[in-house]
Structure 1
Amino acid sequence: MSLLNSMLNTVEWGEYSFKSIFDKIVQGRRLKKDDQISGKIPFVMAGVTNSGIVNYISNPVAVFPKNSITIDIFGNTFYRDYYFGAGDDTGVYWSEHNNYSKETMKFFAISMSKVLDGKFDFGRKLRSSQSLDFKMMLPIKNGKIDFNFIDKFIAKLEAERVSELVTYLSRAGMNDCNLTPEETNALHDYEYLEFSEFNVIDIFTVKNTNSILSRDILENSGDTPYLCASRDNNSVSTYISYDKKKLDEGNCVFIGGKTFVVSYQENDFYSNDSHNLVLYIKDGEKRTKLNQLYLATCVDKSLGHKYSWGDSISNKKIQKDKISLPVKDNQPDLSSLATLISAVQKLVIRDLIQYVNQKSDSNILVEYAS
C-alpha cells in the first residue's frame, strides 16, 4: 500500500461533475418481482448484496451497455462490465463518445462512491437527476484528466489484491477443490428437495441481544466482535474489550433488527442494539457452522421480503413467522445441509483460484484449479 499511497499523494487533483464525465445518465425502469421472468439478463436494483443483482430475467427491458456504472437510491456504486437491466431505483452512467477504459471506469466508480458515501438512506433517497452536479476528485496533468495515471494505478491495485488473495489461499490451505461423491450428490439432489414451512420458534430459541451504544465503546480496543445491523464485514463494526456480562453467545444466526441483515456469527460478540436478535438451533447436534450458514440463508429468503427500516422485525413478530426448510417425512431435514454448504464452498474456492490464475503471471495454485 505504501507505493499506492505514494502515487496518490504525489499526483495533482481536480474536481469534475458527474455530468461532465458521462454523456448518458439514465434511470432504470420499474419491474416488480412478481413480473420478472427467469432468464439470463442480470437485473440490478438497490442494494449491496451480490452487487445489487437481484435476479436473472428474460423480460423485454432496456439492456444497458457494458462498461457502465450504476448508482442506486442509497448511493451504492458499482462498475458493470456486462450487459444488464436495472430497476427504477438505480441510475446508470456511461459514455457513448468517450472510450473510457475499464480501469478508468473503475476509478470513476470509486471516486463517485466516496462523494456519495453516507449522504443517502431511506429518509433521503438519490435519483440520478440529482447527482448531475456532484463533483468527484480525479488525477490531472497539465489541467486535464490523467488517464495514463488512472490506468496504471488501477492495474497496480488489482495486481496487489490478487497477490494478497494468492497468499491467503495458500496460507489457509484452501487447496482442496475436489468434490467428494457425497458433495456431488448433495448438489445434484438439491434440485429435487421438497420444502415446507415451519415455525421459527420450533427450530430456534429466539433472544434479543444485549445493547452497548457506540458512544460507550472504544474502537479496536480488543478482539471481541462488536456487531451492528450492517451487511458490511459480516455485521462486524469493530473489535472491542468490554464488560463480559454484556457478551452474547456466538455460534448462532444473528439478525440486525432494524435493517434485517442476517448472518452467521461463529464467535461470542457484543451488540450495538437490543433490537437485534439471535437464533439458536434447538437441536444441539445440528448447531454446526455449516448448518447455520444454510439456515441463515433460509431465514433471509423466507422473511426478508416482510421487513424493512420502516417495518422492522422484533422478537414479538418473529414468534409468528415461518421459514421454508427442506423436509423429509413431514419434518425439517437438516441432515444434508452441511454437505451441501461444503460443496458450495469448494466451488467458490475453485472460482477464486481460477480468477487468480487468470489475473496473475504466477503459476501458484494452478494445480488446484483442475
Structure 2
Amino acid sequence: MVKFQKFRIGDLFTAESGDTDLKKVDIENNGVPVITSGVQNYGILGLATRKAKVIPKNTITVDMFGNVYFRDFEYKMVTHARVFSLIPKQNITRSIGLYFQTCLSKHKRKFSYDNMCVFTKLENETIELPIADAGKLDVEFIENYIRQLEADRLQQLEAYLIATGLNDYALNDEEKKILSLSQINVSDEVRYSKNVVEDEQIKFREFKLAVSYFKNGKKVNVSNDGLFNIMSTKKKINANTITFGGKYPYVARGENQNGIRGYINFDENYLNPEKTISFGQDTATMFYQPKAYFTGDKIQVFSLNNKYGKLNENIALYLIAAVKRALVNFAWGQSSFALEAISELNITLPIDNNNQLHLDYMENYIRAIEKLTIKDVVEYKDKMIVLTKEII
C-alpha cells in the first residue's frame, strides 16, 4: 500500500522571477520561449532573443491565477504579468514534474484576479506526495503512475479520434484553397473604393464589435452592421449559494473548460440562450456556449447579429480569435473592458464579393486549421503508442 505524506511547498521549491519586462514587441521567430500568465498556448507568449534571465528546464511556472505548468525546456518570463517559477530543491524528471504540476494545481481555486497567487502565499501551502522508506519521495511509484496514465490516455485518444472521424486529417481541395488565399485588408479606402479584388484572394474589412449593449438598464445602439448584441446575464448567481452536480452549465470567468465551473439546477427562466458567447468582463475570457447556461458575476452574453445568421462552433472560434486580437492592447481589470469601450472596437474580418461577412470562409478556415492540428496530435499519438508498447 502506497503511503502519502504532506509536504510544505516552500520546503520543496525556491522561487525565481523574470528580470526584464518582455512584451509582444519582443516576440520573434526564434530565441527562447517567453512565459506569461494565462492558459492560452500553455502560457507561452512566443520566442525572444532579447537579453533576459533564462530559467532552467525541469522547473514549474505559476501565474497570478494559480495556473501551473511543468517546463521541460529553458525559458524566460515577463515581469508585468505576475508569473514566477518554482525551482525544485532536488533535480526532477519529466514524470515527477507532471505529478507536481497536478498536485500544485489543486490550489488554483484559492486564487483569482482579486486574490492573486504569489510565492509568499503559496510557500506555506502543502501537497500530498507518495513516500517510500525513510520518508523519501517514492520516485518509482510516480514514474510508473505517470507512464500508465499516459498509456491509458493515449488509448482513449485513439478511440475518440476514430469514433469522431478526426483520425482522417487529410485536407480536401477546398480547405487547401482556403489556407492558400492571400489577405487583402480593405480598410485602405483607396483600394476599397476601386474594388480591386483579384481571383484567389480574400479581402477583409472592419466591423464594430457591438450592434448594441445595455448601460444602467438602457439600450445603447452602436452599429447596425455590428457583430453582436451584448446583453447582461439574466441573473448573477453566487457560486457560494449553489450546489454543483445538476443539469445546466454554470459559466464563470475562469479560463478552463469553456469557462464552465460545474453544472447546476436553478430556475430555468434565468437560463441564457444557447449558441452565444460568454464574455468575462474583467478577464476578457470568451467561450462559445452551445447549450443554454447560467452564469456568475461580471459575465456578458454576446449574441450574433441576426442579419448574419446563426452562430456555430467554428464561426464562433474564428470570431473569438479576431476579437482577442483587437483586445491585445487592453489591460486586465473591469474598467478596461467597460462596454462603452469594447463596443466600439473595430474587428477585422473576411468579407465576400458582396462585402458581407464571409461566414463560409470562417467555418472552412477553422475546419482546415483543426485538421492540421489533429494531424500533429495523431502523429504524436502514434509515436507515443509505439514507445509505450516498447516500454510495457
Q: 1:70 Cα deviation (Å)?
A: 0.9
In structure 2, the partner of 1:28 is 18
Kindly indicate whether the alpha-carbon contact (under 8 Å) linking 2:60 and 2:101 is maintained by their aligned counterparts in 1: yes
Q: 1:283 Cα deviation (Å)?
A: 2.8
Task: Select which of 103, 110, 115 maps to 1:111.
Answer: 103
Q: 1:181 Cα deviation (Å)?
A: 1.4
Kindly indicate whether the alpha-carbon contact (under 8 Å) linking 2:66 and 2:108 is maintained by their aligned counterparts in 1: yes
In structure 1, the partner of 2:193 is none
Q: Please give the TM-score of this superposition, normalised by the length of structure 1.
A: 0.83
Q: Percent identity?
A: 26
In structure 1, the partner of 2:158 is 166
Q: 1:85 Cα deviation (Å)?
A: 1.5
Cα separation, 2, equivalents of 1:259 and 1:135? 28
Cα separation, 1, equivalents of 2:160 and 2:40? 23
Cα separation, 2, equivalents of 1:70 and 1:363? 28
Gaps of 5+ in 1: 1-9, 365-370
Kindly indicate whether the alpha-carbon contact (under 8 Å) linking 2:281 and 2:334 is maintained by their aligned counterparts in 1: no
Q: Cα gap change, 1:21/1:303 in structure 2, threshold over 3 Å: closer, same or farther? A: same
Cα separation, 1, equivalents of 2:381 and 2:367? 21
Q: Cα gap change, 1:236/1:113 in structure 2, threshold over 3 Å: closer, same or farther? A: closer
Task: Select which of 53, 56, 62 maps to 2:44.
Answer: 53
In structure 2, the partner of 1:179 is 171
Alignment coverage as a number of residue pairs: 351
Does 2:172 match 1:147?
no
In structure 2, the partner of 1:42 is 33
Cα separation, 1, equivalents of 2:328 and 2:303? 15
Task: Provide Cα deviations, 1:63-118, integer angstroms capped at 9, x if missing partner.
Answer: 323222111233221001222221122222335x844221112112222233x323
Q: Cα gap change, 1:304/1:277 in structure 2, threshold over 3 Å: closer, same or farther? A: farther
Task: Select which of 51, 65, 71 maps to 2:62.
Answer: 71
Task: Provide Cα deviations, 1:42-67, integer angstroms capped at 9, x if missing partner.
Answer: 21111122211122323222332322
Cα separation, 1, equivalents of 2:242 and 2:124? 38
Gaps of 5+ in 2: 185-201, 212-225
Task: Select which of 310, 315, 320 maps to 1:296.
Answer: 320
Q: 1:335 Cα deviation (Å)?
A: 4.1
Task: Select which of 206, 213, 221 maps to 1:197.
Answer: 206
Q: 1:170 Cα deviation (Å)?
A: 2.1
In structure 1, the partner of 2:361 is 336
Cα separation, 1, equivalents of 2:115 and 2:261? 23
Kindly indicate whether the alpha-carbon contact (under 8 Å) linking 2:18 and 2:84 is maintained by their aligned counterparts in 1: yes
Does 2:299 match 1:272?
no
Cα separation, 2, equivalents of 1:269 and 1:124? 26
Q: Match for 1:272: what amino acid?
A: G
Give the aligned CA root-mean-square deviation in angstroms: 2.9
Cα separation, 1, equivalents of 2:57 and 2:343? 45
In structure 2, the partner of 1:93 is 86
Q: Please give the TM-score of this superposition, normalised by the length of structure 2.
A: 0.79
Q: 1:174 Cα deviation (Å)?
A: 1.9
Cα separation, 2, equivalents of 1:301 and 1:150? 40
- Higher mean C-alpha displacement, 33-42 vs 345-354: 33-42
Cα separation, 2, equivalents of 1:148 and 1:191? 53
In structure 1, the partner of 2:115 is 124
Q: Match for 1:164: what amino acid?
A: Q
In structure 2, the partner of 1:220 is 245
Q: 1:175 Cα deviation (Å)?
A: 2.6
Does 2:380 match 1:355?
yes
Kindly indicate whether the alpha-carbon contact (under 8 Å) linking 2:20 and 2:53 is maintained by their aligned counterparts in 1: no
